Amino acid sequence: MAFSVVMPALEMAQETGKLIAWRKKEGDRVAKGEPLLEIETDKAVMEVEAPADGILTGITGSVGADIPVGQTIAWIVAPGEIPPTEKESAATAPSARAGSQVKMESHAAPVAASASEPSAVQNARISPKARRLAKELGVNINSLRGSGPGGEILASDVQAAAPSSSSAAIPAKSAGFEIPSTLGRRMAERTIQSWTTVPHFFVTREIEATALNECRAKMAAEIERTHSIRITHTDLLVALTSRVLLKHPRLNSSWAADGIRLHDHVNMGVAIAVNDGVVAAVIPNAHTATLAELATHRRDVAERARAGKLRPADISDATFTISNLGMYHVDQFTAIITPPQAAILAVGSIADRVVGVEGKPTVRAMMTLTLSSDHRVVDGARAAMFLNDLADALREPQKWLA
């Protein structure tokens, strides 16, 4: 049986993916789960695994091309089997696509649903993103010819038809402009979307970090000896915050059209700086992982992020995010929420400061935490109680990590 290799939908609003490289060539034998190709989406460059065992053949996806989600770009067949013709492929596309995208099913569903929505003229199909963009740019979608699967109108079609698109010249680098990468451009778009649609509010707390420093010093040597991994303050914060979140389900929830979705697990997103932006790598089930497991996972995913080799699971399904700029000597900052998450924690540097202890000035290691929350999900009291419990955990970290 032939299995189609399609451009996968790895994100809710993804319409196309850029094919960066094939890891196998025409005629190669591949194994299910083996890295097959690399694609660039809105968030990062990621590896896509082979959906089945067999021989790779019928490659139509060209390196460097932007390919619509769901389009067949190759086939995996049994030895001696001939891949389906284009007509046969079109007839069997729905079943083939479902079989080759089991891991991405929940992400692909919104795209399939939007494809069934008819427009006012010629039953044209248009993605939700393209529809919003057309409204913003004043483009009449009834006059467009879609370039997506089945004639679906994509955001790129809308941008091409925008009144200013034909006359606006692309700034040249020599003129002092820099054209952002796909990741940088999408990060800017998502930031604007979050800031303009999510009602942010901020709660800040200065917390003593003496016990956190001592905990790290005490545990680091043993874990480095047994697991060959260096423990960072971020690892400790991930471990402690994920455990505290279990007491505060609203902070570990998602805003959805049908209500607030409470999660019974903590998939912790950790903001990681890469060459052309920031990605939020995900540590799944951080609330049950040991400190060594957290540190190992954080190191591995950070290496993949910086090498441009992220996998879909590396950036999917975070329920809360930590952004730590302490290593850059930033004292305090506020972070923008990543929808549909309800909150994000911004962490400043640990530094000696003069504080009052029992009425006397004393020098202590202090850090500032700022919690950004979605006011539709979290109110001020809940945010304050979460920070109170996190402060308690930072004062007695070994008790929470036992």
Residues designated catalytic: 375, 379
Nearest-CA neighbor of 12 among 131, 112, 98, 148? Answer: 112
Could you tell me the CA-to-CA distances from 309 to 16, 246, 302 in Å, in that order?
18, 31, 10
Q: What are phi and psi of 150, to 5 degrees?
A: 65, 20
Nearest-CA neighbor of 121 among 154, 151, 148? Answer: 151
Quick check: helix, strand or coil at residue 219? helix
Q: Is the distance from CB of 337 to CB of 372 less than 8 angstroms?
A: yes
Specify the length of the chain in residues.
Answer: 402
Tell me how far apart the alpha carbons of residues 35 and 21 are, in angstroms, rounded to a whole number.
Answer: 11
- Residue 24: partners with Cβ closer than 8 Å, 6 or more residues away: 30, 34, 36, 37, 50, 56
**Could you write out the DSSP letters of every residue in 183-202?**
HHHHHHHHHHHHHHHS-EEE
Strand-strand pairing, 253-256 and 259-262: antiparallel
**Cβ neighbours around 192 below 10 Å, total:** 11
Q: Is the distance from CB of 320 to CB of 241 less than 8 angstroms?
A: yes
**Could you write out the DSSP letters of every residue in 158-169?**
HHHHSTTTTTPP
Q: Work out whether the CA dihedral 350, 351, 355, 360 comes out positive or negative.
A: positive
